[in-house]
Structure 1
Amino acid sequence: MGIPSKTLLNPLSILSVFLIISGSLSASTIAADYTTLVYKGCSKQTFPITDGLYTQSLSALFDSLLSQSTKTRFFKTQSGNGGQTSFSGLFQCRGDLSNGDCSNCVRKLPEMADSLCRKAISARIQLYGCYIMYEISGFPQISGVELLYKSCGGSQVQGSGFEQRRDTAFSSLESGVVSGNGFYATSYESVFVLAQCEGDLGSSDCGDCVKTSVQRAQVECGSSVSAQIYLHKCFLSYAYYPNGVNRKSSSGGSGQNTGKTIAIVVGGAAGVGFGVICLMFARSLMKKRDGKY
């Protein structure tokens, strides 16, 4: 069943996913900062620094991914001739980013991967707006619903009715992400939700993945005011604003700025503590409602 139209946000009306990290940031800074690191996952195994074939193959992979970042929000390829030094990899941008923002986001990733993961034979670097993942040929595969990263908002929603509203939004999200080609954002009674699947995931598998992320959010985050659930093949985020979104400032109260975070990715990872992710109305939409557009 769909959500009442008066509370439904089309994915194209989502301006950005906003972040608050341990304090206040200006709304304009947060809106543009889709290149902020969410988490990194680096394998413990590394390739020999003295063997230039690995470096050349990984560099060729990055070049191939970057060349496509101005044309599409998802691209998957491999480098090398299929031997031991070959790498496969992909990038994906959030579904509401423009091609230009997608490219700007992706161009940050190779350097970050090199800096954060050194010579790891497998790595994933997740930013707010995009991520890159690569692995050497023959690297062990993990389940598509393997948990990579979780963040539950530190504050708990008081009073009754929240979980019903949240679950109603989740229900629409589960169906919407399938019909929306793997990306969907919506809201219901001040609960903002967003989900995205890996670009080559089939509709059925995408729906199953998001359903699993919903279940994890419900069980592991309970009545948290917000949550982020990143699985191997999809991710989910939600945030609850009972008093509405403050248009002048997205900093909110400090009580909601501390999240409980974990990261588990391909053999070793480090989480980045962060707070509430806020799905805002597009500025153009707000101007129309205010009669300013």
Structure 2
Amino acid sequence: MSVHAIFLSMLCILLGLAKPSSSATDTFVFGGCSQIKYAPGSPYEYNVNSILSSLVNSASSTSYNNFKISLPGSTKADIVYGLYQCRGDLSNSDCRDCVAHAVSRLGVVCPGSSGGALQFDGCFIKYDNMTFFGVQDKGVVMKKCGPSIGFDSDGMTSRDSLLGYLTAGGQYFRVGGSGNVQGVAQCVQDLSMSQCQDCLAEATLQLKNQCGSAAWGDMFLGKCYARYSSRGDHSRDHDSHDDNDNDDEMQKTLAILIGLIAGVALVIVFLSCLAKLCDRKGFFHISSKEDPHSLKAEIQEDRYIEARERK
């Protein structure tokens, strides 16, 4: 392989490393696992694997579904209940990718657990050995509040107006904006619409009480969530700064590596050209494949000829 080919290959590898490794929908939000473990190889394990596969397959065609799995040979105690839900603005392909990633991650977060739940930015999955379909859950699972921006009457009015809009929408998923504040809210669709609005009312109330004058806030309850940001991005705008910092560091590292590789390639090219030039002028005539005994004989013969000429 030529020097140029090696250089281009290494450059392509480095440029490939600069591509994003995952989409924003795969951002981890929270996870929870049951403390009860199932026995390996048990009917319950087979039911868990079956329901997780069903979640991924169904996500290719719809943004929400729930399942009750009891394979042949299972008892009542082996029944598994599970559901998934994707963010309402995702395409079917993005929904499936998010659910598939969540399912694979669940095996790491909750190995052998009889129940587990995982929330990503773009989807939510849950399974358990007890039915939870249609059961209200307004307990706070995760909350985050951004830095305080101080008292801003207009900003607070815009935020409260937005949260009111998200709560009263009569929809399972809603996005909106007021002034420079935007937000998103969503309920798990196993709830009735009245349960959904009740859950969102609690989530928005918690946001006001817990986050106060924060620039952004996330409030995740058991069956719904509400989020807002004064920077105009409901998809975890507050995390983007860390991501940008990491991207900047990666770009700097890549620039240094590419510079080093380019320098090494130039040195190799220079040495290669120098070797060819020297070879043409006869500086390097001896081949590594020559017989050392033959070479010694040639040297002795040259010395003998020189001695006779002197006489």
Q: TM-score, normalised by structure 2?
A: 0.64
Aligned to 2:51: 61
**Is residue 41 from structure 1 mapped to residue 37 from structure 2 by the alignment?**
no
Alignment-derived partner of residue 203 in structure 1: 193
Q: CA deviation at 1:156?
A: 0.2
Counterpart-to-counterpart distance in 2, 1:169 and 1:240: 11
Contact between 1:65 and 1:91, CA under 8 Å: does it hold in 2?
A: yes
The counterpart of 1:84, out of the listed 62, 71, 77, is 77
Higher relative contact order (CA 8 A, sep 6+): 1
Task: Report if aligned partners of 1:71, 1:99 keep a CA contact under 8 Å in 2.
Answer: yes
Distance across 1 between alignment mates of 2:79 and 2:22:
38
Point out where structure 1 has 5 or more consecutive residues left out of the alignment: 1-27, 258-293
Are 2:136 and 1:136 equivalent residues in the alignment? no
Residue in 2 aligned with 1:190?
180
User: How far 1:30 sits from its partner (Å)?
Assistant: 9.9
Q: Residues 216 and 238 of structure 2 are in contact (CA less than 8 Å); yes or no, is this contact kept in structure 1?
A: no
Aligned counterpart for 2:110 among listed residues 113, 117, 128: 117
Q: Which has the higher strand share?
A: 1
Segment drifting more, 196-205 vs 98-107: 196-205
What letter is aligned with 1:234? C
SS in 1 for 2:168: helix
Matched, 1:159 2:151: yes
Question: Deviation digits for residues 223-243 of structure 1, max 9, x if unmatched?
Answer: 1111111111111110013xx
Query: Aligned partners of 1:216, 1:250: CA distance in 2, in Å?
Result: 19
Equivalent residue, structure 2, for 1:126: 119
Post-superposition offset of 1:184: 0.4
Percent identical among aligned pairs is: 26
Give me the whole-angstrom Cα distance separating, in 1, the residues matched to 2:135 and 2:200.
17
- Give the 3 Å change call, closer, same or farther, for CA 223–31 of structure 1 in structure 2: farther
RMSD, matched Cα: 2.7
Residues 121 and 31 from structure 1, CA distance in 2 versus in 1: closer, same or farther, beyond 3 angstroms? closer
Letter in 1 for 2:163: F
> What count of residue pairs does the alignment treat as equivalent?
218
Which residue of 1 is the match for residue 229 of structure 2?
Answer: 239
The answer on whether the counterparts of 2:51 and 2:82 sit within 8 Å (CA) in structure 1 is yes
Alpha-carbon distance, 1:200 to partner: 2.4
Going by fraction, where is helix more abundant, 1 or 2?
2
Higher CA-based Rg: 2
Maintained 8 Å contact 1:197/1:234: yes
What TM-score do the two structures reach when normalised by structure 1?
Answer: 0.68
> CA–CA distance in 2 between the matches of 1:133 and 1:253?
30
Map residues 6-45 of structure 1 onto 2, 5 A cutoff. Answer: 29=20, 32-45=23-36
